[in-house]
Amino acid sequence: MVTGYAAAEASECCYEAFEVVKLMQNEDGLDPNRVTLVSLLQAAANAGSYKEGRAVHGYAVRRGIDSFDEILETSLMDMYSKCGDLEMSRSVFGRMSKRCIGSWNALIAAHVQVGQPLTAFELFQRMLQEDILPDMITLANLLSSCGDLKFLRQGKSIHGYLIRRQVQLDLVATTALIEMYSKCSRTNQGRMLFDEIQAKDVIMFNVMVSGYLQAGLPDKALETVCRMIEAGIKPNPATILNLLSVSADLGEIRIGKEVHGYIVKQGIGSNVDIANQLLSMYGKFGRIEMARQIFNRITRKDLVSWTSMITSYAQHAHASDALMVFRLIHEERLQPDLVTLVSLLQAVSSLGCLTLAKEVHGHIYRNRLEKEILILNSLLTTYAKCGSLGMAECLFKSIVKKSQISWNAMISAFGMHGKCLEAIDLFNQMLKEGFQPDDITFTSILSACSHGGYVEEGWSIFKSMSEKHSVTPNTEHYSCAIDLFSRSGRLEEAYGLVQHLPPRERTSALDALLSSCRVYRNVEVGEIVGRELLDLDPDNSGTYILLANIYSEAGKWDAAARIREIAQANSLARQPGYSMIESASVQ
């Protein structure tokens, strides 16, 4: 009876199990034995009832069942881990005279679950030193750690171990391997294992889908979900969460709306995790009103709900609303975490308010998050965007373990403030300290050079991208280099670079180049650029006007008149100019 309640995994059942034991003692005068205690511990562990679990431990000690057997001790460890007391779990483990595989597994699993995979790995090494042979449970847990730590080599060696020992890979083991490979950026390897299994379950599909999402392949993720549905497997809540991510990543709100409809029909909209993901998806599409409605309907909002709402506001020009939501969090007795504060910093950055930046900085200190690299990098950018390059630099210097992102953030901060030489110096220092620049580093440094007019320096850095750093220049890099040349009047060279862009992405670069042609009164290049631009975007009245001006300023009145005639024939009126000024609503 007690075991039945214990297996039911609900807190009410935990109390029922304890009630049954009381009845057993009072009415029948029977004392609980080891089996009863194991069941009670299991009930407490499933319900997370620490008080009850400790009481059972105390009872066992008082009754002298303290020369515990392995099963009872392992149940104690499991109960302590599930109730969040890892120390007690370790202490029970330490006192065990004979440790069975189950107790090792319990401790390894506990460390994996609280996000300490490194310790889980250390335990595994100790286990091998003590000549204990790992079982499938140990290996599945370790594979999960390998994924989290991106330990591809160790993950592969576990896979190799399984093959060498000719272990038949079941659904769970294969799923764990697929997950490990996906998290270590080896999605294809995961896919091969996935294809080998005929009878896949919903979890395996979800893991594969999530692997594709992590790899930035939302179309493959969608294809996999479709295959799953075709195979007659019903989506579960985790599938729904994946699908909402697919929709956001593909930029296809239609999919998200369809999934929303499914959620409503299935009556699972009250699930807080699903509601959070839905809110976040609408937020990403800028559908703030929809996001807000979903947020308001969540009855038990958790920190993710609040943070998602802040992010949605912060990223779509509603910074003051983001701040307002942040202030409400405290009333809910929730403690903002690292992610909440990073989102808040985005809002502060877009307001450009230094006082607020300092206020959040204080908050970060009070919550002891001042050493988190994620927070430091965001704060650095926020200070720079709020006009205080000094504070940004000071913060950068104070970061003991700088990440590549810290360097990128500081280079871009110098760029924002027109300090091109400082940005170049920092870039060189970054290389000297052995950090690998990436595409974002180059976007920042090239844009700093182009704004500061440092043509030679910028061009030499652009060339070094593929020659020295194996970074292939993308459209943005080309645009920066084109800008670099066109601003300094080297229009032929700029036009030469435009040819490297795919035709559809040439418009804005050509637009800027045409303006430069006017500034530098270069009719030859202007004519070529203007015509190419008119081919690509014949409805842009600005191009006709600019080209006509270039002709007339060069004295080519006939050509200018012809262009104006064509514009008139196409009835392209000049767009009136306008400006928008937002009044400061937050001090």
Tokens of 347: 């809002």
Residue 539: half-sphere exposure toward Cβ, Cα within 13 Å: 0
Q: C-beta of 516: minimal distance to DNA in Å?
A: 21
Report 494-553 residues binding DNA (CB under 7 A).
none
Closer of 20 and 83 to DNA (Cβ):
83
Report 289-308 residues binding DNA (CB under 7 A).
302-305, 307-308
Report 196-235 residues binding DNA (CB under 7 A).
202-204, 206-207, 210, 213
Closer of 55 and 172 to DNA (Cβ):
172
**Residue from 48, 237, 269, 352 binding DNA (CB under 7 A):** 237
- How far is it, in rounded angstroms, from Cα 135 to Cα 381? 48
Closer of 405 and 533 to DNA (Cβ):
405
Closer of 351 and 405 to DNA (Cβ):
405
Report 118-147 residues binding DNA (CB under 7 A).
136-137, 140-141, 144
Report 548-577 residues binding DNA (CB under 7 A).
none
Contact 203, 175 (CB under 8 A): yes
Contact 574, 545 (CB under 8 A): yes
Report 347-376 residues binding DNA (CB under 7 A).
349, 373-374
Report 306-325 residues binding DNA (CB under 7 A).
307-308, 311
Report 90-119 residues binding DNA (CB under 7 A).
105-106, 109
Q: Is residue 450 involved in binding DNA (CB under 7 A)? A: no
Q: C-beta of 325: minimal distance to DNA in Å?
A: 12
Q: Is residue 271 involved in binding DNA (CB under 7 A)? A: yes
Contact 104, 127 (CB under 8 A): yes
Q: Give how many residues touch DNA by CB under 7 A.
A: 71
- Binding map of DNA across residues 15-54, x = CB under 7 A, - = no contact: ----------------------------------------
- How far is it, in rounded angstroms, from Cα 578 to Cα 236? 50
- Binding map of DNA across residues 324-343, x = CB under 7 A, - = no contact: -------------xxxx-xx
Would you mind telling me the total number of residues written for the chain in this entry? 587
- Binding map of DNA across residues 378-407, x = CB under 7 A, - = no contact: x--x---------------------xxx--
- How far is it, in rounded angstroms, from Cα 137 to Cα 151? 18
Report 163-202 residues binding DNA (CB under 7 A).
171-173, 175-176, 179, 202
Q: C-beta of 556: minimal distance to DNA in Å?
A: 38
Contact 296, 280 (CB under 8 A): no
- How far is it, in rounded angstroms, from Cα 341 to Cα 375? 7
* Cα three-residue angle 126-127-128, rounded to 5 degrees: 90
Q: C-beta of 125: minimal distance to DNA in Å?
A: 19
How far apart, in Å, are the Cα atoms of 76 and each of 8, 50, 117? Answer: 18, 11, 21
Report 427-446 residues binding DNA (CB under 7 A).
438-440, 443-444
Q: How many CB atoms lie within 10 A of CB 240?
A: 22
- How far is it, in rounded angstroms, from Cα 456 to Cα 485? 9
Tokens of 441: 């580093």
Contact 179, 147 (CB under 8 A): yes
- Closest by CA position to 78, among listed 35, 36, 124, 41: 41
Residue 124: half-sphere exposure toward Cβ, Cα within 13 Å: 26
Closer of 336 and 530 to DNA (Cβ):
336
Stretch that binds DNA, among 123-131, 391-399, 412-420, 421-429 (CB under 7 A): 412-420
Q: Is residue 471 involved in binding DNA (CB under 7 A)? A: no
